[in-house]
Structure 1
């Protein structure tokens, strides 16, 4: 008798269709298993095994609320390598780490008559009924699977886009970020990536997104980016470290490509404490160098709320931004900035640090945006807020990120509810939206 299996993404509709989930489905089907891909809302029963994917800590309640469609539930997703404990009551076996080889072996073991407890022989497996509380080493795929480009669905404000994986893990170990601590860095082969780009059907979409924590760290990134241009494809944004861009200075960026970099601290001292020895002079030199080359689209990721941070630290940020916003331009440019409050991640050295959500600091940030939305002269720098997480959402994410097996009950007891759509951070659409946040030092 054929084993019946289904797959569900336990997350809001807008977050479904992730590349990682697609890879797991592709690996299971390549191993010969028929998998029905169901919407979360689909209540079809009668399966032997259900596969559940959890993408983010705020998706744990979706797993908890999901009806059982099969006697055996296998759970995986990015959050497992950081802290799987919030979901342990709601699954029979968990894949910690990467899952292409794991899912094929797990399904085969179950098809051969095995039980969930028998999967502990597989690397990266956590069976709650047998777990002794010790950390499970994440499963790592070696060599990296060579997946074909994945065409994701269209989403609000975004066209259908081809996704191509550049690397897994991160070559850096920033003290606050789990990407450098959960799995090791492994770049994909450049030759394969160049050939994969040639497989892309531009008739379906000409947009391509390269997936890696830091694109510029990949040795073949200049050739890959040039190949995208030569094929008439478009990559609209890139995420990378500022120091890697300046180290190479050979990256063929289009001038309107959105370049996203992390500053990760209001002051030089904060950045140094989290493993980013990035001076203000380095940031200014990067912006000058890019501006001289006619680049017009920038984004900064900012983290605030570290336990050692003081209210006056924002003055250092203001001075840095004054230096940037007075850089001369031949053409106006847009600088987007997203401020995110610090959330301790269990797999990192700052796991036990106590974050600060300082309402005074939030108002000061918003007041700064109020004053800087428009340039003093044209051409100049247009500044745009990319949103700021609410105090309630910040507290919720800390709870679900650090939580243990009883955290869902605690989450419900505090009055939280599973959202139909991901909560959008507060984002002003105009200067009027910031008017009440005029800051007076």
Structure 2
């Protein structure tokens, strides 16, 4: 159990979750957040890698990084791509922004629910967004033929798929993705967002990035921050044919990557074994976490190939209320999905974490169920939650012994 206070207003951040740093500042010294919200890799980088970075932190922060071209060439050599087929950015969302500005002219099709920037960004610039609703009764699986028919019927000029999809972790086989992009060779652009592809264990080599490099209208998007558990560094990249990659690369600032990102790029070639081990551990945790969540009566866990699980809460539960309850009492941070298009607040996304953390999550959810049924709001560790009002008028919660 944790102690301290949290401004629950911080959790109400519109389309995106509150930052971990903001929550830590709110809770004060000595408090620890168990983060089931931000989809990090808990096993990578290793403690030895962080120690290596710490040893060089002064020079990393003090001096300019190399230009983006130099860093991109190094990453291309590590990953086995031709550097002219890649562009790196300060986070994958920067690439989504530039794709919208440079290559999406009229309309874009996207299944929902999905990562919010794929709908929000083109809407902000006045594009028509054709939203293809995924169905709960089909476990939010994407039917490629139905989606292709939807794209043709709407006349969409750009099509996007996220594989695995966020927030449900739904996965399309490599063969299906190739069939999809080859069926749309006449479109202005087809984007495959593979931000979470490294977590897939359903088949070997699931990425279609190499195939994108030899097609005229395909872009594959990647997020190193999500894979490596380094969201704070903000770096992602795309793979496409040289004409598309070059157009994006020329639009991006020459020094759009920071020195920490450069340091990591030059480290990863020496730590591939540790990275692959982290993915195996995370896949194990995903299966174990699915089983452990079955202890909560009435909970539905949807199939996932990501490092997160989409969960439908029992009847009568509120994702917003559960989020606030878990944060106030247990210091557990979850992603409530009520602000995602195509889904509602009876759904939450839970990042895959080791079993010890999952045990605390399950305890907290069971406690919330008892609370809804009128049982005393007292945990097994004797903590009581007192709602209060902060100096700014926002609702607060303080946990005390």
Q: TM-score, normalised by structure 2?
A: 0.27
Q: TM-score, normalised by structure 1?
A: 0.25
> Greater helix share, 1 or 2?
2
